[in-house]
């Protein structure tokens, strides 16, 4: 028979172990995932799910013929043992047989993510990230002929196109300005590696860092499909709001006096 005192002591010890241990453990997990962002191999699940799913076996790293992928180590700030790549060092060369995604046993890299409708998986559907241009450090935007990223892009004239603009400074030259198209860009980073600037003026960011979101309440009236949404959601949203208190607030004496 265990005494009550003993039981209480045990429970307290357990609470301290779970609380304290859990806290330290959680801290170290946060420390190992503190990098601002990380680029994953093609077909990766969303980062949160990817971190759950990846079993850290490195088979994608082994499958990569260009040594693009590495496994994170302590100190990288990326979850230990998960695969990532840094395009400025070695970009993804978009192998058509997608060996990395194909070799993943865990489902963290998923060929379905690279498959549109009934077709076969296609590396060109990958969304590892999105190339972003910093105009101020881009030679082309200075008016100097460069096009390094445009020429290097595996999806030239689709993912990166050139816009022509008159060079107002000289009055007689053209500026050939690279522009990235987010619906096509795979985030492979060949452009980032090709960029001649000391620190790349075009670089890949993960999609969630490089994209915005307008919000459901804006509708493109000039697109038939989009306009249908007007009947779906708006009414429900109105009910959520406390219209009465808003009107009361506007009619409030204090507000009018002020």
Q: Which stretch binds other proteins (CB under 8 A): 22-30, 112-120, 121-129, 248-256?
A: 22-30
Helix (H, G, I), strand (E, B) or coil at 140: helix
Q: Which stretch binds other proteins (CB under 8 A): 23-31, 167-175, 193-201, 214-222?
A: 23-31
Instruction: Identify which of residues 61 and 159 has a Cβ nearer to other proteins in the complex.
Output: 61
Cross-strand pairs, 130:
205
Q: Which positions from 32 to 71 touch other proteins by CB under 8 A, shown as an x/- string?
A: xx--------------xx-xxx-xxxxx-xx-------xx
Q: Does 2 bind other proteins (CB under 8 A)?
A: no
Q: Does 26 bind other proteins (CB under 8 A)?
A: yes
Q: Does 137 bind other proteins (CB under 8 A)?
A: no
- Which one among 75, 171, 212, 215 touches other proteins, defined by CB under 8 A? 75
CB 43 within 8 A of CB 111: yes
Query: Cα(206)–Cα(209) distance, rounded to whole angstroms?
Result: 5
Q: Does 80 bind other proteins (CB under 8 A)?
A: yes
Give per-residue burial for 71-107: e unless 16+ CB within 10 Å, then b. Answer: bbeeebebbeebbbbbbeebbbebbeebebbbbbebe
If we measure between CA atoms, which residue out of 70, 81, 62, 73 comes closest to residue 39?
70
If we measure between CA atoms, which residue out of 68, 106, 62 comes closest to residue 186?
68
- Which one among 9, 28, 89, 211 touches other proteins, defined by CB under 8 A? 28
HSE (side-chain half, CA atoms, 13 Å) at 76: 17
Contacting positions for other proteins (CB under 8 A): 17-18, 21-22, 25-26, 28-29, 32-33, 48-49, 51-53, 55-59, 61-62, 70-71, 73-76, 79-81, 103, 105-107
């Amino acid at each position: 028979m265990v005494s009550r005192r003993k039981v209480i002591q045990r429970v307290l010890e357990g609470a301290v172990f779970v609380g304290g241990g859990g806290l330290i453990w959680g801290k170290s997990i946060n420390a190992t995932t503190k990098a601002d962002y990380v680029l994953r191999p093609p077909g990766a699940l969303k980062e949160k799910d990817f971190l759950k799913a990846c079993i850290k076996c490195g088979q994608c790293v082994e499958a990569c013929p260009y040594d693009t992928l590495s496994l994170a180590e302590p100190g990288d700030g990326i979850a230990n043992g998960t695969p990532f790549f840094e395009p400025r060092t070695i970009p993804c060369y978009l192998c058509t047989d997608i060996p990395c995604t194909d070799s993943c046993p865990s489902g963290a890299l998923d060929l379905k993510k690279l498959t549109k409708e009934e077709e076969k998986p296609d590396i060109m559907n990958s969304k590892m990230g999105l190339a972003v241009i910093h105009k101020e450090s881009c030679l082309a935007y200075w008016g100097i002929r460069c096009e390094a990223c445009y020429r290097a892009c595996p999806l030239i004239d689709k993912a990166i196109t050139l816009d022509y603009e008159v060079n107002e400074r000289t009055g007689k030259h053209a500026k050939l300005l690279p522009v990235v198209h987010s619906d096509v860009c795979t985030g492979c980073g060949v452009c980032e590696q090709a960029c001649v600037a000391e620190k790349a003026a075009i670089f890949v960011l993960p999609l969630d860092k490089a994209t915005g979101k307008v919000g459901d309440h804006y509708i493109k009236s000039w697109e038939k499909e989009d306009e249908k949404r007007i009947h779906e959601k708006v009414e429900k949203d109105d009910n959520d709001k406390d219209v009465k208190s808003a009107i009361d607030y506007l009619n409030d004496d204090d507000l009018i006096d002020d």
